Structure 1
């Protein structure tokens, strides 16, 4: 049993950081009421975590190779624990957003070291077992998140979803210090500081511009400035990565159509299947007046079906060309999300069930072969970069998806409210509605008007979600079809391994396995 204690230490940290990707979705209405948070603030509460996680993953992996994998993992745990405490004690939306960003920083540091630590500790058959367990834990975190968030929020309020991290982090730190060996890369590695900074600024400014556009319009000076800054930072990133000796992300890999298709698949996997869950949870708790636990249970079939399918995907898909599960999985996600467009003002939660299950099946199908296909699409020397890029683009898809779909929601909801007898400007009312403030809007008018206003707001929310599902689902189907053609030769020559979940991603270049 002693040899598996390192696996326990790694899986505890992995489970904790991945649960926090989805656990906040059902707590958003409670946060909105408690902190008087706007829709933009709620978007940032979700996005600050995903964005910092995406922006820092590749850099954190290089830092771990230089400074020591155990040392960096422990540092990530400490930052994550402190950030969780900061989130739980937050008295306003700004502090909570800052805490979520700090959480994402700690999460990135932890996540970037997990596979490298497993590769350093285990060899041969034990490594396969370790990665199978780690993969199962990673998948189950997403499945547990909504229900766990609902139980904690309904029982003890939204701060409890962050406080629960503290004992887990402390136990993990004590265990990791005792059982994990230290390992550093060979000399000569350098951090790509300019690449890391420019990528972070590009992603952050672009997402901020997208979020602000929902409330201020595309012509707003703030939106234009943010998008210009994002474009300039992206240009700096491209130039830097094309010229430095040890780039954070080897851009030459994108000359390969198969690799480009797989990165798009990673973005849409997260953006189409999961980015809408915050808005869906808000609809369940405001329009249908569900509690956090009930809303969490409604969202669970998506993650649970993804977990169950991913667990058996290796056996079922064994021997198939990789482009079949990647393309089919994205199309299934898209069709599932499109099924949810049947939502209407008089709908109940069951209108989402079939789409949730179908999207979850698609996510489970595409998740298993995504990393192995990415590794097969690049030369062996770039395998570490390809593995890190998949995780980076998945989290980037979550951040961009939340921002884009928020803009779509506000636009459609405002269009539905236009001409109706509702208080305020339709754009502002739609934004407040998406921020969980529907009850406050209704209570702001005379009692005689409340029934008609409730009907108008319910219609606006349903129509906004319809458009969200339409855009997300259509994008997933389009990328799924495109991936079939772009993967080309890779799709014919690369097959899904029998035990995909047990296939260990290689250590980053410059490390030993």
Structure 2
């Protein structure tokens, strides 16, 4: 237990914080009824958590190098637990949204330290095995969220999707304090990069907010253009700050290395291409096929199981394997899996997704631990928190942006399909349908016309999912090609200050 205790402590927290990204989805109808929440409230209950992760991860990783990674992990877990309790006791929608934001801050402090804690606890083959297990847990968590959420919501009450975090948090904190050693960046002169943290948080937050809300406000609206302009300005400030900082939280010189840049592209594509469509898939399963939340969540089990098996086995068998092949090949599998899910029509059932989910899950299982290893191998140990924060930031940004972009594609393709079917006001109908309002729409139709209307709605949602899945598939294939082409066949000789003892694997070995 002493040897693998740190891994257990890190994986418990990782599973808990990542499963909370998706666990809320199936409980939204119950939450809306209990708290009289509007559609906007429900959207923010999902968005605010992912937004906190995407915006704050990089700064949290930098801070962890300075104040201590174990300390940051424990404090973050405690904050996450307190916010989870407050979410479960929420008297209203506004309170729940606010506490989800606090929950996201705690999750950020935890997530930003996971890779560096593993890197400090293990070396050589043990590190590869540990990262393989961590990757398996990470890959399975998002897919298992809807299943656990459905079980708790149907079996107990929606508030238990938050209460369940409390005992897990207590065990995680106790185990971390007992078996995980403290580690820092190692240079006493380092300081937290507050200007860099603030400017990057502004850039990530504004970009995510702009994309999430662009479908509502309009991509060509003044509001969207202004938000993107502010995000661009924040990015310029971040670059200027980091170039002049003596202790930047992200060494921009790393992006001169094509291998590091390609790894970040892979991280960005990973979560978005593998999981970005699943929220809409869940809506299709429940509102069009009539599955219960639990049964709808169980449809995604093939992805979770494939990711877990591939990651756990790959951590052992692919020790020292070229990152170019593992990451690039995994992304190609994710892309192929997404394309294999783009086979739906008005008569399709849940089984049509199984093959694609399995193939995508295998890709997730390969990429997850390899991405973590590449992040650790690309920087010196004192900047492990920075590397962990960077790779996880790109993953969360990719997910947040993908959900928004795929939502726009989904509704746009729905609208075209409904227009072809002669449905009146296809624009409004598509948005109600995408929001889970199929039953509401059918209730408005005279009984004699309902079979035809039901077919049109099934066809429209299937067409929208196909469009989103094709886009995700193409993005996965392109990202895989970028990694396969740009990551070097052999590692570049590192300068002394960049040398990394006991790398998980060479940045590339022939």
Q: Same fold (TM over 0.5)?
A: yes
Give 2:405's aligned residue.
404
Q: Distance in 2 between matches of 1:300 and 1:347?
A: 19
Q: Are 1:85 and 2:89 matched, yes or no?
A: no
Flag the 1:267–1:69 CA change in 2: closer, same or farther, 3 A. closer
Give 2:332's aligned residue.
331
Contact 1:336/1:357 (<8 A) preserved: yes
Q: Are 1:214 and 2:201 matched, yes or no?
A: no
Q: Distance in 2 between matches of 1:492 and 1:189?
A: 27
Which range is displaced more, 161-170 or 29-38? 29-38
Following superposition, the deviation at residue 69 of structure 1 comes to 3.6
Question: In the TM superposition, what are the counterparts of 1:18-417 in structure 2 within 5 Å?
Answer: 18-28=18-28, 30-31=30-31, 42-90=42-90, 93-118=93-118, 134-142=134-142, 144-177=144-177, 185-318=186-319, 320-377=321-378, 384-417=385-418
- Residue ranges of structure 1 left out of the alignment (5+ in a row): 495-501, 506-513
Following superposition, the deviation at residue 113 of structure 1 comes to 2.9
Following superposition, the deviation at residue 55 of structure 1 comes to 2.2
Which range is displaced more, 291-300 or 310-319? 310-319
Flag the 1:11–1:186 CA change in 2: closer, same or farther, 3 A. same
Secondary structure, aligned partner of 2:162? helix
Which range is displaced more, 38-47 or 163-172? 38-47
Following superposition, the deviation at residue 134 of structure 1 comes to 4.6
Question: In the TM superposition, what are the counterparts of 1:415-434 in structure 2 within 5 Å?
Answer: 415-418=416-419, 422=423, 425-434=425-434
Cα deviation 1:298-335 (Å, max 9, x = unaligned): 01111210110111114444564321222221111111
Flag the 1:491–1:44 CA change in 2: closer, same or farther, 3 A. farther
Give 1:12's aligned residue.
12
Q: Distance in 2 between matches of 1:5 and 1:354?
A: 36
Q: TM-score, structure 2 length as denominator?
A: 0.87
Contact 1:334/1:472 (<8 A) preserved: yes
Cα deviation 1:67-103 (Å, max 9, x = unaligned): 3444332321222112223333446554443333222
Q: Distance in 2 between matches of 1:427 and 1:251?
A: 44
Q: Distance in 2 between matches of 1:352 and 1:228?
A: 39
Contact 1:337/1:355 (<8 A) preserved: yes
Cα deviation 1:328-361 (Å, max 9, x = unaligned): 2111111111111111111100110110001111
Cα deviation 1:478-511 (Å, max 9, x = unaligned): 12122221113448999xxxxxxx9779xxxxxx
Cα deviation 1:159-178 (Å, max 9, x = unaligned): 22112112222343345455
Which range is displaced more, 362-371 or 297-306? 362-371
Following superposition, the deviation at residue 15 of structure 1 comes to 2.4
**Corresponding residue pairs, total:** 498
Contact 2:139/2:368 (<8 A) preserved: no
Secondary structure, aligned partner of 1:341? coil
Following superposition, the deviation at residue 447 of structure 1 comes to 3.7
Q: Distance in 2 between matches of 1:491 and 1:431?
A: 49
Flag the 1:278–1:367 CA change in 2: closer, same or farther, 3 A. same
Contact 2:88/2:159 (<8 A) preserved: yes
Flag the 1:318–1:174 CA change in 2: closer, same or farther, 3 A. closer
Which range is displaced more, 98-107 or 309-318? 309-318
Give 2:498's aligned residue.
none
Cα deviation 1:108-150 (Å, max 9, x = unaligned): 1112233444555667887777656555544453454332222
Q: TM-score, structure 1 length as denominator?
A: 0.86
Give 1:510's aligned residue.
none
Give 1:460's aligned residue.
460
Which range is displaced more, 395-404 or 169-178? 169-178
Which range is displaced more, 327-336 or 96-105? 96-105
Which range is displaced more, 305-314 or 430-439? 430-439
Secondary structure, aligned partner of 2:488? helix
Flag the 1:3–1:302 CA change in 2: closer, same or farther, 3 A. closer
Following superposition, the deviation at residue 53 of structure 1 comes to 1.5
Following superposition, the deviation at residue 38 of structure 1 comes to 6.4
Flag the 1:403–1:41 CA change in 2: closer, same or farther, 3 A. farther
Q: Distance in 1 between matches of 2:381 and 2:64?
A: 21
Flag the 1:443–1:235 CA change in 2: closer, same or farther, 3 A. same
Contact 2:59/2:193 (<8 A) preserved: yes
Contact 2:125/2:504 (<8 A) preserved: no
Q: Distance in 1 between matches of 2:169 and 2:227?
A: 36
Following superposition, the deviation at residue 216 of structure 1 comes to 2.7
